[in-house]
Amino acid sequence: MGEAPEIQLQIIVQENNKDQNSTDHQTDGGSSQSTINQRRSYKWWLLITIYTLFLLAGQSVATLLGRLYYDKGGNSKWTATFVQTAGFPVLIPLYYLSAYKTSTETTGNLINPPSILVLSAVYVSLGVFLAADCMLYSLGLFYLPVSTYSLICASQLAFNAFFSFFLNSQKFTPFIINSLVLLTLSSTLLVFQNDPSGSAKASKGKYVIGFVCTVAASAGYGLMMSLTQFCFRKVLKKQTFKVVLDMMIYPALVATLVILVGLFASGEWKSLDKEMEVFKLGKISYVNILVWTAIGWQVFSIGAVGLIFEVSSLFSNIIGTLGLPIVPVLAMIFFHDPMTGVKVISMVLAIWGFVSYVYQHYLDDRNSKTVEV
């Protein structure tokens, strides 16, 4: 836990005098371009490196701990879903950084902010959608080996591009189409694999259920990122660090409440004490796994938010997709998941699709620089 179109996080400064006209025209003209055009310092690159490590580490650790929870006796899908969003309070201290950035920037009040009703509708809708998507991810991880699950998740980049074509006018180039085809084939290959090694529960029928749930979750994640981009441009109409934090924290709060309702309505909460008692690694390990899974997903969120703020949502999603092949390797080491021929082919196709997508992004950046010159 997520982008073909770029979410530009730069401030459009109001023209103050005639001497700033040329600079302002460059700012307005570049508002649809990547913030790669901004001045880059060593500190900036260090910050990008830290955010990237946060995203990759959080994603890998949270996914592996989620699989460990199931393998050692955990059976509550609602609990596994709950920890994906419940750690959002970790992000609240970042509001102080947001306040600092706002105080050091000059902004113009050019756009009236949306009403509380509109904002509430956006946050609630995204929160409910996030809760459903997290449940699908939990079901997929429950029925699938972690390596297979991770490879299927690589399809989220293709789904993001597909939905962005309709919502955000994403243009399809030969390299993007090639990426879509390769990522689709990468995931489709895995449905023909009979691999119950990761979980004794995974019969062929349940394997298919896990596959469908993971593909649906990846599609939902791609749609949610496209909807987030749409909300930034059409509803919020401004992109500051605080706005990005709001779009992370408030939907996570709503999702957490929805998941809690599902946990109690399903009756799974009644079996949590027994589940903790029979957990193979003991009670303390049971709690630690859930806590660190929640923290892992929030570390992932910090990295993702940071990359969105400093670069773009596309770059953030590309880094997330790049990290997905890391999990099968770690799963082979820690969970002894076999690296079958089908998985190897699937991984190669996923990496090939990723490289094709990145190369298109490189061409776009190079062309934008040429136009500016």
In the prediction, which pLDDT does 274 show?
92
| Residue 112, token pair as written in the block | 């009236």
Whole-angstrom Cα distance, residue 21 to residue 9? 21
User: Which pTM value belongs to this model?
Assistant: 0.76
DSSP strands (E only) in 186-332? none
Contact at 8 Å (CB) between 197 and 337? yes
Instruction: Taking the CA atoms of 142, 148, 153 and 155 in sequence, report the sign of the dihedral they define.
Output: negative
pLDDT tens, N- to C-terminus, the chain (373 residues): 543 333 333 333 333 444 444 444 444 444 444 444 444 577 877 888 898 899 989 999 999 999 899 999 999 999 999 999 999 998 888 877 766 555 554 444 446 778 899 999 999 999 999 999 999 999 999 998 887 888 888 788 778 778 888 887 777 788 888 877 887 787 777 766 655 444 444 577 888 899 999 999 999 988 887 888 788 778 887 767 788 788 889 999 999 999 999 999 999 999 999 999 999 999 999 999 999 999 999 899 888 877 777 776 667 777 777 777 778 788 888 887 777 888 888 888 888 887 887 788 778 767 766 765 5
Question: What are the φ and ψ backbone dihedral angles of 137, each rounded to 5 degrees?
Answer: -60, -40
